[in-house]
Structure 1
Amino acid sequence: MIRRAALALAAWLAASSAGAVECNNVSYDGNRYAICEVDASEEQLQLFLRNDDGQVIGHFSTLEKLLAQQGKTLPFATNAGMYHSSRAPVGLYVEDGAEEMRLVTNAGPGNFGLLPNGVFCIREDRADVIETLTFQKAAPDCRHASQSGPMLVIDGELHPRFLPDSDSRYIRNGVGTSADGRRVVFAISRNAVSFHQFGSLFRDHLQLPNALYFDGNISRLHAPQLDRSDAGFMMGPIVGVVEKTETSD
């Protein structure tokens, strides 16, 4: 009886540590956030936009169905960058090595054009947030990449245009990465926050040297650990973690 209980506990511990995605609701500096942390050296992070027929996926539920057909699950996902009304990416977009949209380096209207902006780059066993001009010079070989903006944190400093007393507050989501590229943290605010507050979350609370803004009020999160899978109108690019089901090869 004791041995059986010990084996059951060992199995539970192994199962709970097998996945490298951890989601939690947290409070910081008077604001509420949902945060999902991924170990990029352990988990399969990738971007999604269209199905095999070229149709925009647009919803977490649609993506889950597509993955289920492949014997896979979606333990985490969020929207991953700005897009036009057609759902086509505004800036650089690479999926499985295929580039759909080029890198945009010039300033422009809206948050995307609030330079410096940046690129979320997924490579083998790591993921990085890289400022756009640095990305252009380095030309890293990204298996998946999505450009968005503005940068929230740049080499440990907040974006120079962020104001501590700004009254521009929205629901916001973004991603930050560690220097070694293993620790990838996605965050979405659960109440309206300013850019300065959101950037400070990544720099001061999450201790990440680089972070990138994904979007504002259209931000969505799929996090079964939090009993949350946001629905609504169609999204453009989606980033998610993919895992094989226990019965799949």
Structure 2
Amino acid sequence: MPRFFNILLFILPFSFTPDNHDCPFPESNRLVHDTTFVDHIGEITFTYNGQQYDAIVVNPSVSDISLHWLSNDQTPYKSIQVLRDVLLEKKKDILMITNGGMFMKNNIPVGLFISSGRELRPLDTATDQPGNFYMQPNGVFYLDNTGAHVSTTADYLKRSGKHNKIVHATQSGPMLISNGVINGKFNPASVNRNLRSGVGILPNGNVVFIISKEAQTAFYDFAAIFKARFGCKDALYLDGAISKMYLKKGRPDELNGDFGAIIAVTAR
């Protein structure tokens, strides 16, 4: 079945050549609201297979991506607004804040959580538990001094003692794409549709965060977006129905939530 794709940029327009099976909507449907888009950097709103998505593409060499869970008094931030207020007090220019993975009772992250070089939660290597987190393969989004990475949990376990010190990390699942291949457990014909959020690594090392606008996205379609539209070889699912994303321009009022790990992107 053909997949129709229309992209609405809230950045600078760029030349885009769709796959042969896609049919783009007329150029008049492309709405441009600012001129900050350079080499796929910044906020993007687009439609894929009839559903609308918001995204932000970030260059980790010029923007800071950080993981947050506990405040100075060792209580969870929980909401986007609480973390945003703390970052604003520090005079940070906030580009994005979103929930960064699944969590247990009392907002405790499930699996690995590293913030500012401190491992606060260990890697979870279980493979036989229920729930999306344990759908295999699951994975880790992490940052070290070479950049941002997404890998399967198994690969992270092999590499963790070999690469540079990890500064920030969060574990989640399932992997949407691994080594360029969409997760084989996803069914293109699935009727299991929900709100989806995730993170992927572009070929140039940039990072894309994507969230659906409605609870109408299947896992397969969500993974296909990262691969077909952003060229990601590795992408990780962050969460579903509860997901929120604050974007400086496109979603400035999305400030609530009740989360464990939270990801922030700030300008340097």
TM-score after normalising by structure 1:
0.86
Equivalent residues, number: 228
Deviation for aligned residue 1:155? 0.5
Instruction: Name the aligned partner's letter for residue 148 of structure 1.
Output: S
**Runs of 4+ in structure 1 over 4 Å off:** 15-18
CA deviations over 1:160-200 (Å, ceiling 9, x no partner): 100011110000000000345x2100000112200001011
CA deviations over 1:177-232 (Å, ceiling 9, x no partner): 0345x210000011220000101111112111000000000110000211433244
Contact 1:117 1:132 survives alignment (8 Å): yes
Q: Secondary structure at the match of 2:131?
A: coil
CA deviations over 1:128-179 (Å, ceiling 9, x no partner): 1111100000114310000000000011101110001111000000000034
Residue pairs, 1:19-34, within 5 angstroms: 22-34=42-54
Structure 2 Cα separation of the partners of residues 136 and 179 of structure 1: 23
Structure 1 Cα separation of the partners of residues 207 and 245 of structure 2: 15
Query: Counterpart in 2 of 1:99?
Result: 119
Instruction: Name the aligned partner's letter for residue 130 of structure 2.
Output: P
Instruction: Name the aligned partner's letter for residue 173 of structure 2.
Output: G
Contact 2:202 2:230 survives alignment (8 Å): no
Residue pairs, 1:106-185, within 5 angstroms: 106-107=126-127, 108-124=129-145, 126-139=147-160, 140=163, 141-180=165-204, 182-185=205-208
Identity, in percent, stands at: 31
Deviation for aligned residue 1:21? 5.4
Contact 1:60 1:229 survives alignment (8 Å): no
Q: Which runs of 5+ in 1 are unaligned?
A: 1-14, 245-249
Q: Secondary structure at the match of 1:199?
A: helix
Structure 1 pair 150–88 and aligned structure 2 pair: CA distance change class (3 A): same
Query: Is 1:54 aligned to residue 74 of structure 2?
Result: yes
Q: Secondary structure at the match of 2:227?
A: helix
Query: Is 1:211 aligned to residue 232 of structure 2?
Result: no
Structure 1 pair 16–36 and aligned structure 2 pair: CA distance change class (3 A): closer
Structure 1 pair 204–21 and aligned structure 2 pair: CA distance change class (3 A): closer
Structure 1 pair 93–216 and aligned structure 2 pair: CA distance change class (3 A): same
Q: Secondary structure at the match of 2:260?
A: coil
Q: Secondary structure at the match of 2:70?
A: coil
Contact 1:27 1:33 survives alignment (8 Å): yes
Q: Which has the higher contact order (CA 8 A, sep 6+)?
A: 1
Structure 1 pair 105–179 and aligned structure 2 pair: CA distance change class (3 A): farther
TM-score after normalising by structure 2:
0.80
Contact 2:36 2:42 survives alignment (8 Å): no
Instruction: Name the aligned partner's letter for residue 83 of structure 2.
Output: L
Query: Counterpart in 2 of 1:226?
Result: 250
Return 107-116 or 121-130, whichever deviates more. 121-130
Query: What is the RMSD of the two structures over their aligned residues, measured on CA atoms?
Result: 1.8
